């Protein structure tokens, strides 16, 4: 199956600094990637939809100036947490959407990365 | 707004016990439904999905789920669990009846299977 990687798998940073997380589709091209945030014992919350070559679409309540998303190529999207604070500590998961051609027309499957644990001290 | 609810946060079973994890969604139109599994330290993997047709869907590793439209439910079942099924399970939904939409996840259910 398709593979999505994330780097780093975990990161610790100091309050006020910025952190960049990379999401790569390793064996397919993804015009669309998704960024989720997962709090302990809670669901995955969609933060934004990243579209190659255009601006990301953010979900309601997500600060676009704080969570900068860049999808510069068909295999790479990055999430930069700017001026991180302890409340930004969380598990960030990306997902890449693969278009497949089935008998009844195109079908879109989402593949998930392993996640990045961010701790802001 | 669309939402997905999983009623059990943590389920503990012994090996060979039967499993049923509840999932309900709130949306009156066409939905596509999914179950994902996340093994410790690993990424989310698709267990099974329902788009249309037979409401009883069979997935990988012996799992199945039944779509009951009248109950807005998509419960996950397995007749006999194994220790290796210990993981977190997420129900998810896409609205609109196509595979293109955004996934909305339930809260997740942690399954612990004792040998």
Distance CA A56, CA A119 (A): 24
Mutate to test the interface with A, among B24, B43, B50, B92 (most CBs of A within 10 A): B43
Closest CB from B42, B107, B108 relative to A114: B42
The verdict on a CB contact (< 8 Å) between A46 and B102 is: yes
> Model confidence over A49-80: pLDDT tens digits?
998 888 999 999 999 999 999 998 999 999 99
Specify the pLDDT at position B97.
Answer: 63
DSSP 8-class letter at B6: -
Residue B49 belongs to what H/E stretch?
strand B45-50
- B42 to chain A, closest Cα gap in Å: 6
Specify the pLDDT at position B109.
Answer: 96
Instruction: Look at A33 and B99; give whichever has higher pLDDT.
Output: A33
The verdict on a CB contact (< 8 Å) between B90 and A43 is: yes
What value, to the nearest 5°, has the Cα angle with vertex A100 and ends A98 and A106? 115
Q: Are A48 and A21 in contact (CB under 8 A)?
A: no
Mutate to test the interface with B, among A43, A113, A115 (most CBs of B within 10 A): A43
Sorted by sequence, the CB contacts under 8 Å of residue B30 that are 6+ apart come out as: B95, B96, B97
Distance CA B40, CA B87 (A): 6
Specify the pLDDT at position A107.
Answer: 78
Specify the pLDDT at position B106.
Answer: 94
Distance CA A33, CA A95 (A): 5
Token code pair at residue A103: 């008998």
Token code pair at residue A35: 């960024």
Specify the pLDDT at position B68.
Answer: 95
Specify the pLDDT at position A102.
Answer: 64
Model confidence at B98: pLDDT above 70 = no
Instruction: Look at B84 and A2; give whichever has higher pLDDT.
Output: B84
Closest CB from A42, A109, A115 relative to B43: A115
Cis peptide before B40 (omega within 30 of 0): no
The verdict on a CB contact (< 8 Å) between B44 and A112 is: yes
Distance CA B90, CA A42 (A): 10
Q: Name which of A19, A49, A45, A114 is nearest B92 in CA terms.
A: A45
- A29 to chain B, closest Cα gap in Å: 16
Token code pair at residue A38: 């997962």
> Model confidence over B4-57: pLDDT tens digits?
999 889 999 999 999 999 999 998 788 899 999 999 888 899 999 998 899 999
Token code pair at residue B67: 């779509």
Handedness of CA A93, A43, B47, A103 (dihedral sign): negative
- Residues of A whose CB is below 8 A from B105: 36, 43-45
- A111 to chain B, closest Cα gap in Å: 8
Q: Are A83 and A66 in contact (CB under 8 A)?
A: yes
In the predicted model, residues of chain A with pLDDT beneath 70 are 1, 102-104
Q: Name which of A47, A30, A58, A31 is nearest A118 in CA terms.
A: A47
């Amino acid at each position: 199956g398709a593979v999505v990687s994330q780097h780093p798998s975990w990161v610790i940073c100091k309050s006020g600094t910025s952190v960049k997380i990379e999401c790569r589709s390793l064996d397919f091209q993804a015009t669309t990637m998704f960024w989720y945030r997962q709090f302990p014992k809670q669901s995955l919350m969609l933060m934004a939809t990243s579209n190659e070559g255009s601006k990301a679409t953010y979900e309601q309540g997500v600060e676009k100036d704080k969570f900068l998303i860049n999808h510069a190529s068909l295999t790479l999207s990055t999430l930069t947490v700017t001026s991180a604070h302890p409340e930004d500590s969380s598990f960030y998961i990306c997902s890449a959407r693969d278009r497949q051609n089935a008998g009844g027309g195109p079908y879109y499957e989402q593949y998930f990365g392993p996640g990045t644990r961010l701790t802001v001290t | 707004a669309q939402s997905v609810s999983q009623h059990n946060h943590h389920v503990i079973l012994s090996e060979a016990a039967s499993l049923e994890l509840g999932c309900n969604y709130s949306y009156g139109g066409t939905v596509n439904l999914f179950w994902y599994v996340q093994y410790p330290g690993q990424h989310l993997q698709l267990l099974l999905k329902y788009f249309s047709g037979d409401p009883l869907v069979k997935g990988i590793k012996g799992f199945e789920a039944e779509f009951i439209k009248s109950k807005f439910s998509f419960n996950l079942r397995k007749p006999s669990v194994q220790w290796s099924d210990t993981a977190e399970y997420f129900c998810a939904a896409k609205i609109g009846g196509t595979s293109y939409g955004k996934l909305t996840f339930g809260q997740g259910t942690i399954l612990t299977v004792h040998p």
